[in-house]
Amino acid sequence: MGCARTPFFDLTVYNDWPQFEDYVKGVAHDNPSFVQLKTIGRSREGRPLLGVRIGKPAPAGRRKIAVWLDGGNHAREWPAFHVAVYFIEKLVNGYLVDDKITKYVDTLDIYVFPVLNPDGFVYSRTSSRATIRQWRKNRAPENCTGTGPFQTDLCCEGVDLNRNYDIGFSHNNYPFNNPCSDEFQGPRPFSEPESRAVRDFVMSSEIYGRLYALVSMHTHGQLWILPYNYHKRTYPQDFKDLETLANKAADRVFAYRETKYRVGTAADMLGTATGGATDWIKKNTPTKYVYVLELPPDMKTWFAFQVKPHWLIPIGKETWLGIEVIFDQVIEETKNFQPTIEPSGNNKTEISRSPRFRQL
């Protein structure tokens, strides 16, 4: 019955935004029995924030455990967007063909969002000039409170979406408080429609209380990043569980072609970064396993956000092996869980703040 199919997407070259948009819509259109198109919001310039939910529909009255994979929110990190498409290819084309993939699709709802900063991505593809090609932020209109060497009131565009979440956010955070920094946090938390869309979706009745793991891919550095990153030596209560699984997944990736990931918080390995999406999600939802993957190459290569495209499939293959380790763990840990139906009535907010993975 291996009738699932995906539209053509060339993973040996770098694609532009329209190819991603057509692909994501096409996958859902061609596989309606187990793939659903998800539009969680729109960007500053009105582009849809697109993804798919891959999963066999749950039996009536039951909710499936969910997992989330995304290609990150930094414009120049093209490999991460493409690896997310590789994951969709793997899941959709492997369904009813490969036993392991079939189990994932039958047991889980797998959300995949390849590009969460389409405007920045489009802009980064418009020129080979370094200032444009290496663009990181979204395309928020210019803010004229920027500073430079011996200059003030400089006007600069864009917000770093991964500094825009409401965690550790402060107007005293240098350089994140400077509109002319690559890492400008924005004028206030959630000032950007792209970060609000992710926040609102993870808090929505569709996935709150059943999303058990989330992996956000970025480039580069070969780092398997755990929360929290807004402060050094600050960890969630279940940090040991997150670290154990990350080490297991990183070992599996290493076994494939010896790509070595360092595991830890970015705050401890590199330095603090406030306002991060994964930090906020870990802190504000019951989702257990929350990771950022900084894909190859490692830190020895400077400014290597865009590897040669012939590496995209090998990176996809090895990274997928780590994702399988996470999926297997999620299935194992949740086999006795029944995520509860979204509560109704006045006590809703109180209930929704508490973890809603209920042991059967």
Q: Which are the catalytic amino acids?
A: 294
Question: For the stretch 321-337, what's the b/e string if a residue is b when 16 or more beta carbons lie within 10 angstroms of its beta carbon?
Answer: ebbbbbbbbbbebbeeb
Please count the residues of the chain. Answer: 360
273: CB partners within 8 A, 6+ apart: 162, 163, 183, 229, 230, 266, 267
Angle at 300 between CA 249 and CA 120, to 5 degrees: 80
CA distance 301 to 221: 8
Question: Are the CB atoms for 316 and 86 separated by under 8 Å?
Answer: yes
Backbone angles phi, psi at 110, to 5 degrees: -110, 115
CA distance 4 to 258: 32
Strands 65-70 and 108-113: parallel
Tell me the CA distances in angstroms from 80 to 14, 30, 72, 113, 273, one per residue in order.
11, 24, 7, 11, 20
Question: Are the CB atoms for 213 and 288 separated by under 8 Å?
Answer: yes
* CB neighbour class for 289 (10 Å; exposed up to 12, middle 13-18, buried from 19): buried
Selection from 15, 12, 51, 103 nearest residue 207 by Cα:
51
Question: Are the CB atoms for 140 and 43 separated by under 8 Å?
Answer: no
CA distance 10 to 337: 39
Tell me the CA distances in angstroms from 8 to 1, 27, 34, 95, 98, one per residue in order.
20, 10, 19, 17, 20
Backbone angles phi, psi at 40, to 5 degrees: -95, 0
* CB neighbour class for 185 (10 Å; exposed up to 12, middle 13-18, buried from 19): buried
284: its two tokens: 């504000």
